[in-house]
A and B are shown apart, each in its own frame.
Chain A
Amino acid sequence: DVKVTQSSRYLVKRTGEKVFLECVQDMDHENMFWYRQDPGLGLRLIYFSYDVKMKEKGDIPEGYSVSREKKERFSLILESASTNQTSMYLCASSLWGSYNEQFFGPGTRLTVL
């Protein structure tokens, strides 16, 4: 079974802190994604990566950056956390190509105080 793990289920940070969210997948998938999920807004793509060191902006990249140094790991970075970044963050991975199932991790609930 594909497994996508996220470093924390719950995280509480203070405004202005630098925050790292880590995601690891164990199925040698080329594509990895970061989404945020907010009530009434569904899932919105922040960034995705189709290869090591490659990244593409999604629909809401402002305030975020990403890092993919190894194929299995995709990190989301909040350079200076703000209260409007309080949200559920979901990581996903898929095989290379557009039509492949995305496998999601359980999510990280981030609260910025």
Chain B
Amino acid sequence: GENVEQHPSTLSVQEGDSAVIKCTYSDSASNYFPWYKQELGKGPQLIIDIRSNVGEKKDQRIAVTLNKTAKHFSLHITETQPEDSAVYFCASLGGSNYKLTFGKGTLLTVNP
């Protein structure tokens, strides 16, 4: 089955700096890659996603890039703010429908 590796497991940045989280996947048939943000005490929430026919997608301060050849995708957050502090999960939709495989998560801390 699909395997998703996510790095780093923790990331601490200063407010205003950029943050990058990277994921690799194993199933070459994977074609959908969402990112979820989980704030303390809440369930994860989708923040951005990308499909395999697109190399990059941007939404204000967040962007996702996809390299299908290398089988990796990354989340970029610019001008980080304290409210960006959360756990971020990448995910991959492999060859079987419905089943997202999640990475292990990255705890992002933005220091004021």
| Residue A81 at the chain B interface, CB threshold 8 Å | no
Contact of A99 among B41, B89, B93, B103 (CB under 8 A): B93
Count how many chain B residues have C-beta atoms less than 8 Å from C-beta atoms of the other chain. 25
Closest approach, in angstroms, between the C-beta of B65 and any C-beta of chain A? 19
Given contacts A90-B43, A98-B32, contact A42 B99 (CB under 8 A): no
Alpha-carbon distance between A113 and B49 when the two chains are bound, in angstroms: 39
Contact of A105 among B32, B36, B43 (CB under 8 A): B43
Residues on A with beta carbons closer than 8 Å to the beta carbon of B34: 101
Q: Tell me whether B98 and A106 are in contact (CB under 8 A).
A: no
Contact of B103 among A42, A45, A98 (CB under 8 A): A42
- CB-nearest residue of chain B to A44: B102
| Residue A59 at the chain B interface, CB threshold 8 Å | yes
Alpha-carbon distance between A106 and B45 when the two chains are bound, in angstroms: 10
| Residue B42 at the chain A interface, CB threshold 8 Å | yes
Using C-beta atoms within 8 Å of the partner chain, give the interface range for chain A: 20 to 34
Alpha-carbon distance between A41 and B89 when the two chains are bound, in angstroms: 11
Residues on A with beta carbons closer than 8 Å to the beta carbon of B44: 43, 90, 104
Residues on B with beta carbons closer than 8 Å to the beta carbon of A31: 98
**A17-61, CB under 8 A of B: which get 1 and which 0?**
000000000000001000000001111110010100000101100
- What would be 26 A-B contacts, judged by CB atoms less than 8 Å apart? A40-B9, A41-B104, A42-B89, A42-B102, A42-B104, A42-B105, A43-B89, A48-B98, A48-B99, A50-B98, A56-B98, A59-B1, A59-B99, A59-B101, A90-B43, A98-B32, A99-B32, A99-B49, A99-B51, A99-B93, A101-B34, A102-B46, A104-B36, A104-B44, A106-B42, A106-B43
20 more contacts with CB within 8 A, not counting A42-B6, A59-B101, A90-B43, are A41-B104, A42-B89, A42-B103, A43-B102, A45-B99, A48-B98, A56-B98, A59-B1, A59-B99, A90-B44, A98-B98, A99-B51, A99-B93, A102-B46, A104-B43, A104-B44, A104-B45, A105-B43, A106-B41, A106-B42
A residues contacting B by CB (< 8 A) are: 4, 31, 40-45, 48, 50, 56, 58-59, 90, 92, 98-99, 101-102, 104-107
